[in-house]
Structure 1
Amino acid sequence: MAYLREHGVEAWLERYGLPEEPYEEWASEYVAGHSPMGWWVVYTPPKTPPPPEIPSWDPASEPAERWREKVHRALEAYVKAVEEAYQRAGWEKVRVKLNWEHFTWLALRLEGLSWAEIADRAALALDVAAVRLAVKRLAAQLGVRLKSGRGEH
């Protein structure tokens, strides 16, 4: 992000091989001082009911299991109401798998580190092929073109 702020949108897009659509608008807003995460939020969330009040528990008058069942039912009803509010607003559930470490690996790759160097920095001992696959999948999802070159082996 420092490169974006320092060199401007066009240079940033070119350096990282990013397509103008959709990154140019986001980058321009970021440089103008908007939240860098703003591009993740596309729709305004619908109005949802307030969370349920958790009933107090009196061990002298109610068995713990019955109290847990009441709390569980209240929470299930709340989650169902929230999901219905989103469905009424036109939102759809999608299966999303985000591993935040993969974003770090992608950034390191864009900064020029080799696959082996990134694998060495991974939290767990990973082989180079696993890191390369995860980064390439994420880059494809984001529309980021990875350049061949240093550390391609």
Structure 2
Amino acid sequence: MNFENLKPQVVSLLTEENVDRDTKLKNLCQFLSDSVSYYNWVGFYFANHENKTLHLGPYVGAETDHTVIPFGKGICGQVAESNANFVVPDVSAQDNYIACSFTVKSEIVVPLFVNGINIGQIDIDSHVLDPFTEADERFLEFVNNEVAKLF
């Protein structure tokens, strides 16, 4: 996958005029899902630091019951506490994993920082075992750096 080719479209989607932030994020999720074959569920969770919970934001893919996730719970909740990327090659091997669907085989979560504060994350599930590479991490860090400009 050549992620460099996707970067201009990411910037274009996020800088589109007269489009609200949630719509931009939903359009971005759709673009990522359409552009990367193994990105089967793409969404954002946003932190409520007071309650120590993550709240589901715009996403594309199968519906999820996981609209609120406590910090520390599951992959997303762990990223809320660690402030570090988390790549899970095989979700079945993870003890602290919240199963969304039996079709999900792997997951990548990259935190979203605004002014040095982890305000949320991009979460991507894949139906493929171990598809995520360092290139995915760097690309999603780029995506989140662009998303941060919306806040």
Task: Normalising by structure 2, report the TM-score.
Answer: 0.26
Of Structure 1 and Structure 2, the greater helix share is in 1
Of Structure 1 and Structure 2, the greater strand share is in 2
Task: Normalising by structure 1, report the TM-score.
Answer: 0.26
